[in-house]
Amino acid sequence: MSRQFLLPLLASVVVLQSSCSHKLAPEGNYQSSPVVADGRLNDWKLPLRFTNADYTVNYAVTNDDKNLYICVVSKDPVTVQRILKAGMNIYLDPKGAKNKEISIAFPIRKAADPVRYRSRYGDPGNGNGYGNGYGNGGNPNSTDSVGAGAYGQGSSSGGSASQGQQGAPMDGASSIANSSAITRRANLEKLLGESDTYNTTGFINMQNGQYGLTDTKSPILISMGLTNENGIAYEAIIPLRNLSYDRMVSKNETRNFSVGIVLNASAGGAGGRPGGGQGGGGGFRPSVGLGMGGGMGMGMGMGMMRMGGGGGRRNGANNAAGKEDDNWYTFSLAKPQPATK
């Protein structure tokens, strides 16, 4: 072969080798212990390895020789509501890019809320109130204030008046905090109960479509549960054979793989609220409840006006809620570590 053709050939080989080698992503984490998709975090090393830009979502991706394991956690109230209402997509690209041809949608976006305004934690009937107006303390039909919940139950039975909840007076601040936590937990459990199906596209040897969480026809295992802090814990177990990636494992090939965790944009602006802003203004809404038997209790709601047109303050997750939150992790498939003697 003449020198005229040999030099360009050698140069092309060097360029090809260098372009392939420097693009190989770091090796991921091998999952050496069993994982059960039950919506709990006891199978994972905490804190999870990665986070989004706003530090409102943490996630981890691991693999063994058969499955890919994904865990997503959020404890941020606005982000939790966003995921449960607007939904989340997991994208899988065996070529290591950011293609969205293979995906799991779970939770699936909920239908639009018929109530125009809801509370910070999603409970209906009290405007954008933090509380749900226990008893008659707080107007359940209010749409113009942030009701802070009721100090008292406003009900009685057997002729005895009630203060708080059938007993001693309740401190205002602790009553509001307690009712808010109860309301929020109940609302999250309701939304979680409605998240019982997921959609898939692009998997090998698996039909595109919707599957129930307990559907034995799907090889994918998915679960989501509530944490003690009213956060959410998402787990997915995805067989590599449905991604044709098991062939690479058996051949001991090393290639990049990408996982995208994408939070859908909330409808109606930040946090899913119409208008998306927190406006100024204040209000004080007392309410009196008369119980059977002559008893009487009082409930009061305090709050701020919500201005639907925006112009108020926003922060962190609220700012980003109007657009997708894309988080991609590219890695090379992890291999088991040799046993030490």
Domains and CATH numbers, the chain: 26-113+195-272+324-332 (2.60.40)
Torsion of CA 274, 278, 279, 280, to 10 degrees: 150
Q: pLDDT tens digits, residue range 44-88?
A: 999 999 999 999 999 999 999 999 999 999 999 999 999 999 999
Distance of CA 148 to the CA centre of its chain: 25
| pLDDT at residue number 285 | 41
More confident residue, 55 or 315: 55
User: Tell me: the pLDDT tens digits for 195-209?
Assistant: 999 999 999 999 999
Give the integer Cα–Cα distance in Å for 304 and 284.
Answer: 9
Average pLDDT for residues 27-50, to the nearest whole number? 96
Q: Which of 110-119, 154-163, 283-292 has the highest mean pLDDT?
A: 110-119
State whether residue 216 is helix, strand or coil: coil
* Weakest mean pLDDT among 14-18, 79-83, 301-305: 301-305
Query: What is the model's pLDDT at position 316?
Result: 52
pLDDT tens track for 150-172: 323 333 334 333 343 444 455 56
Q: What is the H or E stretch that residue 288 is in?
A: strand 282-290
pLDDT-based confidence at residue 338 (cuts at 50, 70, 90): confident
Q: Please give the mean pLDDT across all residues of the chain.
A: 72
The DSSP bridge partners found for residue 60 are: 71
Give the model's pLDDT for residue 23. Answer: 81
What is the DSSP pairing of strand 232-239 with strand 221-226?
A: antiparallel
Non-local (6+) Cβ contacts of 41 within 8 A are: 71, 73, 227, 233
